[in-house]
């Protein structure tokens, strides 16, 4: 496997993200003051964790052991779960929605990132660091998780998908896989080709996705089968015992909704003085989750909580007391801002690994962590990569464009190729023709204008009309070239579909189960090995991977 770094700035990533990677103070002021790219920052963070009032080590280990049991954890994962009882063991966390069949490639890259970083830190320091994947088992946006994508014959990505849910959406952790899953597998077979080895490998990888199985169990077992041998631990919060252990965090959020919101708003305002596009802050940072209503926003209106199972609105203090007395903490569910706080309270966590959006909303939370008597984790970019298959590499070379040129829409690439790279040299010919025309007219217009002012205007109009006619002829020639060079146009489409499907990075659209089936599980081994030697450096650039 060959990996070539590419600067994130060439791929349109946000200024906040690229400044953070450069260790710019302008960006780092919104975080915990520790550079995540310096190894001693992890030692500093570990000493802070030791002094914080968190969940007890033994209780945490037992809760996670209970949580992982249904997923049939590997021996290495069990050893890591037991190691969490020891004071010198810490975690590196990433997380993602539980998408169908594992979701897009960046789910794989996130998992590889925490595994490689945990391995590197354990080898290079006195710390014992274990990788954790936080399953977003309380998210409820089924529209975002109900499909997977794989390439057809022209590398255009096609969807195999479940039908939308037409009722109140339950959290992903409470979904049951319907009989329709077999039709989705058939659709995937049609995309990949019924007789292909890749299809057989894919079906093997997704064997746990079957009717009557819980969505959470299928996702968790798949992740454990792929990553258990690296000691990966799975975690989540839609679990009665874990939710009860997190009651102190939930109680404080219920009792102090205005304070939490104000801290988010103040920090967001500070960031927006330099950067843009932060996550929206609302009155409530909590959802209500039950079998009847699904997962719905818990309303905080006019200074009172509207608890679905209580007739009258309750003040923050009353609501906290009611929830505690009736043991209802399990029905509360965190939003994007509270979930990281819950992760930090539950785990002895050194760092969170995520994408640009996750980096941004963590920046909004600096004072929220402090409010909950926690220090925010170090924030690290996940591995970001584009897989450049050999056939696509050859096709890319034949287009005459660079890889980053393919960020442009296909229609613009086709136009540019027809005008610049075809053997007809259309643009060059018309530029020369236009220059010659203007040179000839400049001399003659002055002469005509000297004879008669009105005739001078007519001459100018004639030149403008001829320039328009030339431009019209140029466009017609380009269309003709496109037809004649259909092979090249299809090559451009193929490369664009492979590298930037739907106009975005490949990692956001291509299903990771397809890549693992195509290249085998050794692909994961090679990727972890490539990253583990210098993960902090490896993740500071987008990687072009040639398997």
Domain ranges of the chain: 2-140+234-244+337-386+521-537, 390-422+485-504, 426-478
Using DSSP's 3-state secondary structure scheme, residue 161 falls into strand
CA-based torsion, 432, 433, 438, 443: positive or negative: positive
- CA 107/CA 129 separation, integer angstroms: 20
Q: What is the structure's pLDDT at 71?
A: 98
Return the HEC string of 52-98. CCCCCHHHHHHHHHHHHHHHCCCHHHHHHHHHCCCCCEEEEEEEECC
- The SS3 assignment for 16 reads helix
The confidence score (pLDDT) of residue 277 equals: 64
How many C-alpha atoms does 47 have within 13 Å on its Cβ side?
Answer: 5
Q: Which two tokens stand for residue 324?
A: 């505690």
Q: For residue 377, give the DSSP letter.
A: P
In 10 A of CB 546, how many CB atoms? Answer: 13
Stated pTM of the model? 0.88
Residues in CB range of 308: below 8 A, 6 or more apart: 288, 290, 293, 296
Helices (H) and strands (E) in the chain, counts: 25, 15
Structure tokens at 366: 């600096």
pLDDT for 269: 93
Residue 314: the pLDDT is: 97
For residue 386, give the nearest of 410, 363, 403, 409 by alpha carbon.
Answer: 403
The pLDDT assigned to 456 comes to 67
Residue with tokens 């077999």: 182
What does each C-alpha distance from 22 to 36, 69, 298 come to in angstroms?
11, 41, 39
The angle, 0 to 180 degrees and rounded to 10, between the axes of the packed helices 512-519 and 522-532 is 100
- What is the residue-level pLDDT of the chain in tens, covering all 547 positions? 899 999 999 998 999 999 999 988 889 889 988 888 887 999 999 999 987 778 889 999 999 999 999 999 999 999 999 999 999 999 999 999 999 999 999 999 999 999 999 999 999 999 999 999 999 999 999 999 999 999 987 788 999 999 998 777 889 999 999 999 999 999 999 998 877 888 889 999 999 999 999 999 999 999 999 999 999 999 999 999 999 999 999 999 999 999 999 999 999 999 998 898 678 899 999 999 998 889 999 999 999 999 999 999 999 999 999 999 999 999 999 999 999 999 999 999 999 999 998 998 899 999 999 999 999 999 999 999 999 999 999 999 999 899 999 999 999 998 888 777 665 677 778 888 878 877 777 777 767 766 777 776 787 778 778 888 888 888 888 787 777 678 888 899 999 999 999 899 999 999 999 999 999 999 999 999 999 989 989 999 999 999 9
| Secondary-structure percent of the chain, ordered helix, strand, coil, rounded to 5 | 55, 15, 30
Q: Which residue has the tokens 């690439």?
A: 413
Among all chains, which residue has been given the structure tokens 């802050």?
281
Q: Which of 431, 441, 532, 518 is nearest to 155 (CA)?
A: 518
Task: Name the phi and psi angles at 268, rounded to 5.
Answer: -65, -40
Annotate 403-419 with b (16+ C-beta within 10 A) or e (fewer): bebbbbebeebbbbbbb
């Amino acid at each position: 496997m060959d990996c070539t770094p590419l600067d994130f700035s060439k791929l349109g990533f946000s200024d906040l993200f690229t400044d953070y990677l450069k260790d710019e103070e302008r960006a780092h002021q919104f975080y915990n003051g520790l550079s995540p790219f310096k190894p001693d920052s992890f030692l500093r963070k570990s000493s802070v964790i030791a002094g914080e009032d968190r969940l007890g080590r033994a209780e945490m280990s037992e809760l996670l052991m209970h949580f992982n049991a249904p997923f049939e954890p590997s021996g290495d994962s069990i050893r890591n779960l037991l190691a969490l009882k020891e004071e010198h063991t810490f975690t590196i966390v990433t997380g993602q929605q539980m998408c169908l069949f594992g979701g897009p490639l960046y789910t794989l890259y996130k998992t590889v990132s925490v595994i490689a970083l945990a391995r590197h830190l354990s080898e290079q320091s006195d710390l014992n660091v274990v990788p954790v994947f936080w399953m977003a088992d309380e998210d409820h946006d089924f529209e975002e998780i109900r499909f997977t994508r794989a390439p057809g014959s022209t590398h255009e990505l096609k969807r195999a998908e479940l039908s939308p849910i037409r009722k109140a959406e339950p959290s992903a952790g409470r979904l049951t896989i319907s009989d329709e899953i077999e039709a989705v597998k058939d659709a995937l077979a049609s995309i990949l080709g019924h007789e292909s080895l890749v299809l057989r490998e894919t079906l093997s990888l997704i064997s746990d996705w079957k009717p009557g199985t819980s969505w959470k169990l299928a996702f968790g077992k798949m992740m454990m089968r792929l990553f258990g041998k690296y000691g990966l631990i799975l975690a989540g919060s839609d679990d009665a015992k874990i939710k009860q252990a997190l009651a102190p965090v939930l109680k404080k959020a219920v009792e102090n909704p205005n304070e939490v919101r104000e801290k988010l708003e103040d920090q967001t305002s500070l960031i927006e003085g330099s950067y843009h596009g932060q996550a929206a802050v609302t009155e409530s940072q909590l959802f209500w989750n039950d079998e009847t209503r699904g997962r719905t926003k818990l309303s905080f209106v006019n200074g009172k909580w509207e608890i679905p199972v209580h007739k009258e609105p309750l003040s923050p203090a009353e609501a906290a007391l009611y929830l505690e007395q009736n043991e209802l903490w399990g029905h509360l569910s965190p939003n994007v801002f509270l979930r990281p706080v819950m992760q930090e309270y539950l785990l002895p966590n050194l760092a969170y690994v995520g994408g640009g959006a996750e980096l941004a909303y963590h920046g909004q939370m600096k004072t929220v962590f402090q409010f909950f008597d926690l220090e925010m984790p170090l924030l690290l970019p996940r591995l970001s990569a584009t897989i450049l298959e050999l056939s696509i590499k050859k096709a890319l070379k034949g287009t005459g464009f660079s890889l980053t040129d393919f960020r442009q829409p296909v229609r613009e690439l086709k136009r540019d190729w027809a005008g610049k790279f075809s053997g007809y040299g259309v643009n060059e010919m018309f530029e020369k023709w236009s220059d010659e025309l203007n040179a000839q007219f400049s001399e003659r217009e002055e002469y005509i204008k000297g004879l008669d002012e009105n005739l001078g205007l007519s001459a100018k109009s004639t030149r403008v009309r001829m320039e328009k006619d030339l431009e019209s002829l140029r466009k017609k020639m380009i269309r003709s070239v496109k037809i004649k060079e259909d092979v090249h146009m299809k090559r451009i489409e193929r490369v664009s579909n492979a590298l930037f499907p739907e106009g975005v990075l490949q990692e956001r659209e291509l299903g990771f189960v397809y890549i693992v089936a195509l290249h085998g599980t050794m692909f994961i081994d090679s990727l972890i090995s490539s990253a583990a030697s210098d993960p902090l450096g490896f993740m500071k650039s987008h990687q072009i991977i040639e398997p």
